[in-house]
Amino acid sequence: MNLIIDAGNSLIKISVFREKIEIYHDQFALSEFVMHIKQVFDVYPDITDGIISSVGMLDKKDMAVVSLFCDVHLLTNQTKTPFKNSYATPETLGVDRVALATAAFYHNPSGNTLVVDAGTCITYDMVNDYGEYIGGAISPGIHMRYKALHQQTAKLPLLEKEDIIDFIGNSTNTSIHSGVVNGVTAELNGIIEQYNQRFNNLTVILTGGDALFLSKRTKNTIFANPKFLLEGLNCLLEYNKK
């Protein structure tokens, strides 16, 4: 069994995989990390290997806790990948994007795949039909846009995302919702269309915390998979075990 740990910007997500099948999943705050890790190993003592992808939340002490129970691989820019990495600055490529590119490679090994991760940031990652990661884009996520409007102005309130009835807002709140939600939707559709024009038979995977919220708003054919990154980490762990 494999333990998969994704320490993102907002939450820590963990999964237990038996080969390619996820048999357990949870997410929680950093303060609950040690407690949850101990509980997982109590329930699944047959876990032999783990992988940690962290964008900065976990410190060395947290990671050392996991190594008490199993062999642990810390995902870095030195980790072996099954795809060719053609990013101009591979040393700056986020480990989350490495995991997503791996998932894309295994999901569609001989095709063109664009992965859109709608989380704290929205990232776009492209793996072409040669099995080559060529890059993508990074933009602010939905909550970051709401937060910026509130923090960078004197009077605009901090709102949480919600469905918009019309793209024309008739109050300050509905105007903010329209600007954020309609703006993200327009960005998503526009960028996917750019990739569609360049790459034949493009497969688009939408993942991340806001994947399901955004999936119904896209006019392109996409596949929503909120756990795509975790699947990619499991594939990376298996690849590096070999």
**Residue 197 CA: distances (Å) to CA of 117, 191, 201, 216:** 20, 10, 10, 22
% of the chain beyond a pLDDT of 90: 82
Going by C-beta distance under 8 Å and a sequence separation of 6 or more, which residues neighbour residue 55? 7, 8, 9, 94, 95, 96
pLDDT range class, residue 152, cuts 50, 70, 90: very high
167 in the same domain as 95? yes
- pLDDT > 90? residue 57: no
CA distance 185 to 195: 16
Which CATH number fits the domain that encloses residue 101? 3.30.420.40
Q: Is 215 annotated as a binding residue?
A: no
Alpha helices in 81-163 (DSSP H): 95-107, 142-151
152 occurs within a structural domain: yes
180 in the same domain as 119? yes
- Please tell me what DSSP assigns to residue 104: H
* Count of beta carbons in the 10 Å neighbourhood of residue 77: 15
User: What pLDDT, on a 0 to 100 scale, did the predictor assign at position 194?
Assistant: 97
79 touches 58 (CB < 8 A): no
Q: Compute the average pLDDT of residues 221-237.
A: 93
Q: Is 11 annotated as a binding residue?
A: yes
26 touches 72 (CB < 8 A): no
64 in the same domain as 94? no
Q: In the structure encoding, which two tokens stand for residue 89, read together?
A: 């600055």
Q: What is the pLDDT of residues 87-135, one digit of tens each?
A: 999 999 999 999 999 999 999 999 999 999 999 999 999 999 999 999 9
Q: Is 183 annotated as a binding residue?
A: no
Tell me the chain's radius of gyration from C-alpha atoms. 19
CA distance 55 to 5: 11
68 in the same domain as 35? yes
235 touches 241 (CB < 8 A): no
Catalytic residues: 96
Q: Compute the average pLDDT of residues 41-70.
A: 89
Containing structural domain, residue 176? 84-233
238 occurs within a structural domain: no
Residue that is last in its domain, among 74, 107, 125: 74
Q: Compute the average pLDDT of residues 173-193.
A: 96
pLDDT range class, residue 31, cuts 50, 70, 90: confident
Q: What's the whole-model pTM score? A: 0.91
- pLDDT > 80? residue 9: no
Query: How many domains does one find in the chain?
Result: 2
Closest among 68, 75, 82, 192 to 126, alpha carbons compared? 192
Q: Is 10 annotated as a binding residue?
A: yes
Q: Compute the average pLDDT of residues 182-193.
A: 95
171 in the same domain as 53? no
